[in-house]
Structure 1
């Protein structure tokens, strides 16, 4: 397992986190035509079909090991709970607040990996995580002020979603799934979360898809094709090959990119705090990802 990211994996992570920042805005926009649980189920179903086609076209062997079935279903349930909470949460809070609380996941991963996976938190990594979190707090200083009861409820749901996101990463790292192709890991999550989303939609009595605008349709397809399909394949490939807390440190970029897209697409105000936040986040990522110094042997008699 790599303890420091090279240039290519780090660049891929930056691209993914920027895409995920836009995803929060896309979910909020698509809620205008797609109810939350139905939207979750449909996007998982769309992405699942695309990933299956990808596996067939490229001859990727999936579902060949029965011992991965249990952990696979577990990750699917955790994945479904994460996004059920996010989608419900976004009906009660803003996209900007949601992205802040969802991205507390690195802390749950770091603590879980420390105790369960033996991936110890060094003082430098702890300082990096703390610094990046301060950056997020600065960026959303106004938004983190106490809100209404409904907003607070949505915030709590997004924090719980972060717990499930962190749990998904830990299960992948700590079970036989770490030996599975990235496509198989993603398929377990998509194929489990799709029927759960449809079932929850019926259970809570959602009315079904309403009149859908072109913008809402594009936002939905972005989630299903680009994010839940292509970007998650890349993410789980990285999860299998690199340190979990190190990867999750990069997710602090998501709120910053989410603010940018919120300003461009939704008209959210952006102030000087976000520039400071970017510097803090970048510094935190450097501390977390910095390779340990190589100790040189001291010549005898030196």
Structure 2
């Protein structure tokens, strides 16, 4: 894939950050019309069906008999755990606050990449990781006083862990599967599992198929899930993965801003302080030091 122009890269990154940011308050609003697991399953299956249109021309690269287990593992981590816990958790906490905790994921990704991908761990990254955990701790302090749901905190952290592990898994197996088929299959497999679980524990008759919910569902399925993942892999395929990672800290900021306007969610001092720690931590974790700088730090330690 040829390298994207700077203008196109900026436009794609802007689209990705905005749609993934507004996803949080929109999902929170959708839960007024539907049980969480059925909603998670419907939107991911719809997103997978939309991506299927783009994947079918690459049918030879599917190789399902050889790689089905990779799709299943990715579906468990990136869809069943990430989207499942995320959608259920939004029922326990404000959308902006929940997203701020989930976006500890880039920090967790730094640890997972060090452990399983052999990426370097140096001073600035360690400081960033510590700041990230401090940020989540500050935000979560309300759970000790009853101001914030403890269940919501654990669901947010579980969602972040699933996303982090899923990202590492996809990166580690990237040379064994086609990227578009990986996303398509994980959405379809994970979505079907979520629909199955939801059908057994929730009632389809509880879904209120009003126009606001249908519009919300279609927007999330098309733009957040299907096109969002397509844009993501377009950027990654063009060598922009590091930029995508470094810009993710804008997503909870957008989520909190939109949630405060649309859902009238309050912005507390703890949330601001915790979010500042998380933003700084993600910046530190994503800074790419020159090889010489890394070697210098390592030599200094030795």
TM-score range normalised by the length of the shorter chain: 0.7 to 0.9
2:45 match: 45
TM-score for the superposition, normalised by structure 1: 0.79
1:132 positional shift: 6.2
- Secondary structure at the aligned position of 2:249 is classed as helix
Say whether 1:267 aligns with 2:264.
yes
Change (3 A) 1:48 1:147: farther
Change (3 A) 1:16 1:257: same
Structure 2 unaligned regions, length at least 5: 1-5, 294-302
**Within 5 A, what are the aligned runs for 1:103-142?**
103-130=103-130
Q: Count residues with an aligned counterpart.
A: 287
Matches within 5 A, 1:113-262: 113-130=113-130, 144=142, 146=144, 148=146, 151-175=149-173, 177-238=174-235, 247-262=244-259
Q: Distance between the aligned counterparts of 1:178 and 1:10, measured in 2?
A: 27
Tell me by how many angstroms 1:239 deviates.
5.4
Distance in 2 separating the partners of 1:274 and 1:97: 7
In 2, the alpha carbon distance for the partners of 1:242 and 1:132 equals 26
Q: More helix by proportion, 1 or 2? A: 2
Contact 1:179 1:240 in 2 (8 A): no
**CA root-mean-square deviation:** 3.5
Deviation at 1:118, TM superposition (A): 0.4
Q: TM-score, normalised by structure 2?
A: 0.79
1:170 Cα deviation (Å)?
Answer: 1.0
Report the CA distance shift for 1:131/1:233 in structure 2 as closer, same or farther (over 3 A): same
Distance 1:277 1:22, change over 3 A: same
Whether the aligned pair in 1 keeps the contact of 2:17 and 2:248 (CA below 8 Å) is yes
Name the CA shift for 1:10/1:168 in 2 (closer, same or farther; >3 Å): farther
